[in-house]
Amino acid sequence: MTTDQPMFGIESNAEGVNGVAVKAGWQGRFYEDFEIGDVYQHPLGRTVTETDNSWFTLLTMNTNQAHFNAQVGQSSEFGRMLVVSSLTIAIAIGQSVTDTTQNAFANLGLDELKLTAPVFAGDTIWSESIVLSKRESGSRPHAGIVSIRTRTLNQDAVEVLSFKRTFYVHKRDADRARSLFPQAAEPLTLENS
């Protein structure tokens, strides 16, 4: 059996193990993978529910009743409760992680945050990001610094949010970036499944 280089701590080879090739799952992007101008349309949309909104509002101790009191929401200019903006921001950042910061180890800044349209319970939001800049770190040779702009759209393609985010991200060969997936004594094969 001929073995290629280990991929993120998981051995892969041309012949496979007992005829089954081991394929590493999505590992996220490393510093070397970012190219200025690339756009990532993050794959997971998220429908915000009234429960999400109430829980997040109360968990974060936001006492503005426009987010958890239907009577106050109905008497507002919107005629219904608003989704608390910090929840919208949290979802947008979360949606971007799989494509941008899965291998990051520190956020350095969140700038130019704009809330451009209200979000209501029942809205489905989607996010996409563009790479604005990248540079190697002067103090951490195992990492680089990347800046992106993310915008979030609702189901009607109306932009509800945008921001710029800057983060440290590991380089591909960084020791801390290696996979910690445990290696079983016996490989998973069709024969033992």
* β partners of residue 166: 109, 147
- Burial classification of residue 74, based on how many CB atoms lie within 10 Å of its CB (0-12 exposed, 13-18 middle, 19 or more buried): exposed
What would the two tokens of residue 67 be?
A: 């987010």
Q: Residue 26 — pLDDT band, cuts 50, 70, 90?
A: confident
Domain interval for residue 119: 31-173
Within-domain flag for 183 = no
pTM of the prediction? 0.83
Encode pLDDT of 101-145 as tens digits: 999 999 999 999 999 999 999 999 999 999 999 999 999 999 999
Within-domain flag for 69 = yes
Give the separation between CA 32 and CA 162, rounded to whole angstroms: 25
The answer to whether the beta carbons of residues 21 and 189 sit under 8 Å apart is no
Within-domain flag for 20 = no
pLDDT at 19: 62
- Residue 88 has what DSSP assignment? H
Within-domain flag for 180 = no
Within-domain flag for 193 = no
Give the separation between CA 152 and CA 116, rounded to whole angstroms: 10
Specify the number of domains making up the chain. Answer: 1
| CATH number, position 126 | 3.10.129.10
Within-domain flag for 132 = yes
